[in-house]
Amino acid sequence: MIYWHIFMAFFIPGILGYGGGPSSIPLVQQEVVEHYGWMTNQEFSEMVAAGNALPGPIATKMAGFVGYDQAGILGIIVAVFATVAPSLILMIALLSVLMKYKESPYVKNLTKYIRPIIAVLLLVMTFDFAKDAWLSIGWISTLIIMIGAYLLLEKFKIHPAFVICIALIYGMVSTLF
C-alpha cells in the first residue's frame, strides 16, 4: 500500500503542477506533510533547500528523497515515475494538438491566468516556512537570513546554491553561540 501512496503523492502534483518544479512544491508539501504526514514542515523545507542546491529539476529530487525515505530504492522508482508520468502521458497524447494551437490566443491567455495562482501557492508556502523558521530559530535570525538571502539573490545575483550554503553556515555558527 505504501507504493500506491507514494505514487499518488507525486502523481497528483505532477498533474496539477503547471509549469514544472516550483509550482509543484506547494502541492507536494500538501501531500507529504499534510496528507500523509511523512515529514514535518521543517523537514520538508530542509529537503527543498537541499534539493535546490543540487542540479536538476526539484520535483524529481523531492520524489527521490521522499520515495527513498519511505520505501527504499523501489520507493524512489515509484515516486520519480509518478512525478514524470503525467508529463510523459500528456506529451505523447497531446503533442500534435499543442503544435496545432500553440499560437492560439486562448492558449496564451490560459498561461497568463495560471501564473497568479502559482504565485499565490508559492507565497503561502513561503509564509509557512517563514513562520516555522520564526518559531524555531527566532525572529532575529529569521529576518537576518530572509533579508540577507534577498539581497544576495536580487542585488548581488549570487547563485541560490551559494545562498543556501551561506544560510547553512550561518545556522551552524549561530548554534555555537
Enumerate the domain spans of the chain.
Answer: 2-176
Q: What is the CA radius of gyration of the chain?
A: 18
Which amino acid is it at 62?
M
Nearest by Cα to 170 from 137, 140, 145: 145
What is the predicted pLDDT for the residue at 19?
A: 62
Task: Give dist(CA 129, CA 127) in Å, integer.
Answer: 5
As a three-state string, the secondary structure of 106-151 is HHHHHHHHHHHHHHHHHHHHHHHHHHHHHHHHCHHHHHHHHHHHHH
Task: Calculate the CA 98 to chain-centre distance.
Answer: 26
The whole-number average pLDDT for the span 117-122 is 91
pLDDT in tens, 17-33: 766 677 889 999 999 99
Global model pTM greater than 0.75:
no
The pLDDT of residue 43 is above 80: yes
